[in-house]
Amino acid sequence: MRVTDMFLALPLVPLLLVLVMLFRDKVAAIIGPELGAFTLIVMAIGITSWMQTARIVRGVVLTLKEREYVLAARSIGTPPRRIILRHILPNVVSPVMVAATLGIADAIITESVLSFLGLGFPPDFPTWGRLLFDGLQYMQLYPVRVIWPGLAISLTVLSVNYIGDGLRDALDPRIRGR
């Protein structure tokens, strides 16, 4: 967890900006400009977004392993594999789903920020961040060119969060019996 804490201490957007600036041309030369930009952004966001989920999973597992039903299962001689599969994992799924959907929403916003700053996908590839960047110079005359992409980003992030909330309610073993 110390490595996780070290990665959490790094600011995300400047780190992504440095990664994109360092490796964009090298990856584009290997697999092409469009696929290279997509691969680099997905890998960079994926590499920098696992830490929050790891902390959540660790905290939930440490809490669950001290619960009475886990201690009772251990005291009657249940193998650790069965304890993990039967007692720990069903209770970890709910927080992981919420963390995953929040991570997806965060990835959408991060990609939009990178594209808005001009370091995302190539200019001929339309993304919401690129649409915001292109509409920025016309914002005084045509505010709709900025409002619609911003609204699309907001609604998408909100809907992903609602989906995660619904999945949490559906998969939570404590709520399932009600």
Give the least confident one: 33-42, 58-67, 86-95. Answer: 33-42
pLDDT band at 48 (very low <50, low <70, confident <90, very high): confident
What are the structural domains of the chain?
2-176 (1.10.3720.10)
Long-range contacts of 8-12 (CB under 8 A, 24+ apart): 8/51, 8/52, 8/55, 10/48, 12/48, 12/110
Residue 133 backbone class (left: φ over 0; alpha: ψ -120 to 50; beta: rest): alpha
Helices marked H in 10-138: 12-31, 33-48, 51-64, 68-75, 80-83, 89-116, 128-135
3-class secondary structure, 117: coil
Q: Look at residue 82 and tell me whether its pLDDT is greater than 60.
A: yes
Residue with tokens 């019996």: 177
Q: Residue range 163-174: average pLDDT?
A: 79
Please answer whether residues 92 and 77 qualify as being in contact, where contact means their C-beta atoms are separated by less than 8 angstroms: no
pLDDT band at 177 (very low <50, low <70, confident <90, very high): low
Model-level pTM? 0.78
Sign of the dihedral defined by the CA atoms of residues 110, 113, 119, 124, in that order? positive
